Amino acid sequence: MKLLTLNFLTCAVKACKSSSDSFPLHPKECELVSDTIPPNPQLIQNVLPRLDWRALSTTASELGFPTLPENAPTLEELQKDEKMMAELHTLLLETSVSEGMLVCGNCGHEYRIKEGIANFLLPNHLV
């Protein structure tokens, strides 16, 4: 599960829909792997306005990455700064969680990740 996807995932439990704590999901006991993916600067420019930067820095610090700058770079800054672009590419697309758990900050539900696949199936009473 790429960190990019993690930045969009929320808790699936119905009662958590209205709570702000249900996003982002907190990774727990995670194993990370890194793949090599050809750089795709246009995609990063495309998703940048939709990224929740605060959530991304929370996730990154929880996974033990160096802290990110406080504010998200603007599109122009990113276009000029190739190093920034490469770092974002490594963080968002090449790093992925292979094993571990995602925990909701509101209800505490744990979603298991096995071989990179997160299990979001819920028992009927939580839907």
Partner 1 sequence: MTNRALELLDLSSPSLILDVGCGSGLSGEILSSIDPSEGGPHVWVGMDISASMLDVALQRDVEGDLMLADIGQGVPFRAGSFDAAISISAIQWLCNAESSEVSSTGRLSRFFNGLYASLKRGGRAVCQFYPKNEQQRTMISGAAIKAGFGAGILEDDPGTKNSKLYLVLTVGGSADEGTGGDITGVVKGMEGVDVLDARKKHREKGRREVKKGSKAWILSKKEQMERKGKVVKNSSKYTGRKRHITF
Choosing from 14, 28, 54, 80, the residue that interacts with partner 1 (CB under 8 A) is 14
Residue closer to partner 1, measured from CB, 29 or 127: 127
Helix or strand run (H / E) with residue 114: strand 110-114
We find the least distance from the C-beta atom of residue 61 to partner 1, in angstroms, to be 19
Which of 78, 84, 103 has the alpha carbon at shortest distance from 6? Answer: 103
At residue 59, φ and ψ (nearest 5 deg) are: -60, -45
Instruction: Calculate the alpha carbon distances from 97 to 16, 75, 85, 93, 126 in Å.
Output: 23, 27, 21, 11, 25
Of residues 30 through 59, those in contact with partner 1 by CB under 8 A are 37, 40, 42-43, 46-47, 50, 52
Task: Report the interface residues with partner 1, using CB under 8 A.
Answer: 1-2, 4-5, 8-12, 14, 23, 37, 40, 42-43, 46-47, 50, 52, 93, 96, 115-122, 124, 127
